[in-house]
Chains A and B, each alone.
Chain A
Amino acid sequence: MRDFILPSHLLGRLYFLFALVVLEYVFCFVGRGAIPGHLKFYGMNTDTYGQIPIFAYLVFLGFGHLRLKAQQGEIPFGRVLFASHLLCLAAVFYLTMEAQEGLGGLFPDTSGYAKSVIYLLGTFLLALACIPLRNWIGAIRATGLLWLYASLAGVAGWFFGTSVKFLWNATSTVLNGTLQRSALHAVSTILGFFLPDVVTDPATFTVGTPRYLITIAGGCSGIEGLGLVLIFTSLWLWFYRKEIRFPRALLLIPCALGCIWLLNIIRLATLILIANAGGFEVAQTGFHAQAGWIAFIVIALAFSMATQKLSWVRKLPASVSPSAGDSRSGTMQMLGGASEQAGELHGESPAIRAYLIPFLAILAASFVSKAASGYFEWLYPLRFFAAAIALIYFWPELKKLNWRFGWFGPVTGVAVFLVWIAPSWWAHQSAASPLGTALAALSPAARWTWISFRVAAACLTVPIAEELAFRGYLARRFISREFDQVSFTGLTTLSIALSSLAFGLMHGQHWMAGTLAGLAFAAALRWRGRMGDAVAAHALSNLLLAAWVLRFGDWAQW
Chain B
Amino acid sequence: MTKNLLKNAFIVLGLALCTSTAAHALVFYPNPKTPEIDPSLAIGSLTLLAGALAVLRVRRKK
Contacts and interface: CB of A to CB of B under 8 A. Distances in A.
A300 B7 contact: no
Contact of A347 (B7, B12, B58): B58
Given A168-B21, A293-B41, A234 B15 contact: yes
Interface string B19-50: 11111111011001111111011011101110
A225 B51 contact: no
Nearest to A290: B41
A164 interface: yes
Interface size class of B (residues with CB under 8 A): 35 or more
Contacts of A230: 18-19, 21-22, 25
B36 A357 contact: no
Contacts of A55: 16, 20
A161 B24 contact: yes
Interface in A246-283: 246-247, 250, 253, 264, 267
Looking at chain A's contact residues, the main secondary structure is: helix
A234 B19 contact: yes
A163 B40 CA distance: 31
B58 A293 contact: no
Contact of B55 (A156, A157, A352): A352
A160 interface: yes
Contact of A220 (B7, B11, B28, B35): B35
B13 A160 contact: yes
Nearest to B58: A348
Contacts of A224: 25-26, 29, 32, 35-37
A45 to B, nearest CB: 15
Contact of A219 (B9, B32, B47): B32
A348 B22 contact: no
A289 interface: yes
A515 interface: no
A534 interface: no
A156 B16 contact: yes
Interface residues of A, number: 80
Interface stretch (A1-9, A113-121, A361-369, A542-550): A361-369
Nearest to B12: A153
A139 interface: no
B54 A352 contact: yes
A230 B16 CA distance: 10
Contact of B52 (A153, A162, A231, A297): A297
A366 B44 contact: yes
B17 A164 contact: yes
Contact of B32 (A220, A301, A506): A220
Given A149-B5, A233-B18, A359 B51 contact: yes
A160 B16 contact: yes
Contacts of B53: 300-301, 304
A42 to B, nearest CB: 23
Contacts of A502: 47
A231 B19 contact: yes
B48 to A, nearest CB: 4
A170 interface: yes
A373 to B, nearest CB: 14
Nearest to A157: B16
B48 A297 contact: yes
A161 B52 contact: no
A354 to B, nearest CB: 10
Nearest to B10: A247
25 contacts: A59-B12, A149-B9, A156-B13, A165-B24, A219-B35, A224-B32, A225-B36, A227-B23, A228-B37, A231-B18, A234-B18, A234-B22, A284-B34, A292-B38, A296-B49, A301-B56, A304-B53, A340-B60, A343-B59, A347-B57, A350-B59, A356-B54, A359-B51, A360-B55, A364-B48
Given A226-B22, A264-B36, 14 more contacts: A156-B16, A157-B12, A230-B25, A231-B18, A233-B18, A234-B14, A253-B14, A288-B34, A289-B35, A296-B45, A348-B58, A350-B59, A352-B55, A366-B44
